Amino acid sequence: MKEKVRRRIEAIEEEMRRVGLWDAPQPERTEGIGAFGGDAMSFEQWLRWVFVPRVHALLESGGPWPQSSEVSAQAFREWRMWGDYPGVDRLLELLREFDALFG
């Protein structure tokens, strides 16, 4: 499981860099916020400054892994339902693959 997660998160990071989402400005705080950043930060900031670091922390500690993940559903809502962010199709696919590891 650990290697599959590592490969997925590395691919997600690479794709975020490619589409320009890796440069999301760091929010003032990342702890104690609601799901997907809530009102405290944009979804892109949450991915960059909360999601990716949390996955890396789980990789370092060996878990515990979540029972499920729905980050791709939120990404779809943010980038397709509520907006039209260009060039994120591959990133959406990678996030779906990540979620599938926990489904």
Asked whether the predicted pLDDT for residue 103 surpasses 80, the reply is no
pLDDT digits (tens, 9 = 90+) for 33-88: 767 666 778 899 999 999 999 999 999 999 899 999 999 999 999 999 888 888 99
Distance, in Å, from the CA atom of 46 to the CA atom of 64, rounded to the nearest integer, reads 21
What mean pLDDT comes out for the span 19-33?
A: 80
CATH fold label, 2-100: de novo design (two linked rop proteins) (1.20.1440)
pLDDT score recorded for residue 28: 77
**pTM over cut 0.85:** yes
